[in-house]
Amino acid sequence: MIVIIDYQMGNIKSVQHALDYLGYKVQISNNPEVIKEARGLILPGVGAFCDAIKVLKDKKLDVVIKQMVGKGMPFLGICLGMQLLFSYSEENGLYKGLDLIPGKVVRFPEKMRVPHLGWNQIQFFPDANNCSRSLFSGIKNNSYFYFLHSYYCIPDNKDVILTRTYYENNFASAVCIENIFGVQFHPEKSSLQGLSLLKKFGEICNADYSGY
């Protein structure tokens, strides 16, 4: 079972429908006991970083996320969910994140049109695949995915970057450290290539994690 973490932020139902379509058993929950029984976790999200991290901490979901990730459970952060993986964000102040991936979240420069909205390409980052299996297996370089965001992630270590995307400047559009994955785009809104990525994540969950 894949659990989509319910913290009242974003496209939870859209992600659920995509996984249902792919044939995976999926449940939406914020119950730590349910989360602990999962084979993989997805943290989607649309909205402000400060609001999201507050909900996660108030519900103690940050604790169970770190616990299960530390045990090797595959984890996928989508859009805001990817940003929450980082050490801190500069959105509306300075807020500490889950700190699972060292780095920061910053706003696109004022001169640029925000949000970055619509279809854009991903380019595989040279020599960047420090994961045992890539989410992008079977997906062609320069494929298009759907984006909606005004802030982007800057990892401390470039080795964690799987893909980058050009929006006046290059930014990290997908990252990975061991069993932790993050994508800035919305796979659930990205047609066949998005479904392919979610399918691959499901395969990683089934192959890599049998629970503890």
Catalytic residues: 79, 186, 188
CB neighbours of residue 63 within 10 Å: 12
User: Given the structure tokens 């103690």, which residue do they identify?
Assistant: 60
Q: Strands 180-183 and 75-78: what pairing?
A: parallel
CB contact set of 181 (below 8 Å; sequence gap of 6+): 74, 75, 76, 77, 131, 135, 162, 174, 175, 201
Number of helical (H) and strand (E) elements in the chain, helices listed first: 6, 14
Residues counted in the chain: 212
Distance CA 45, CA 82 (A): 9
Distance CA 208, CA 133 (A): 10
181 touches 201 (CB < 8 A): yes
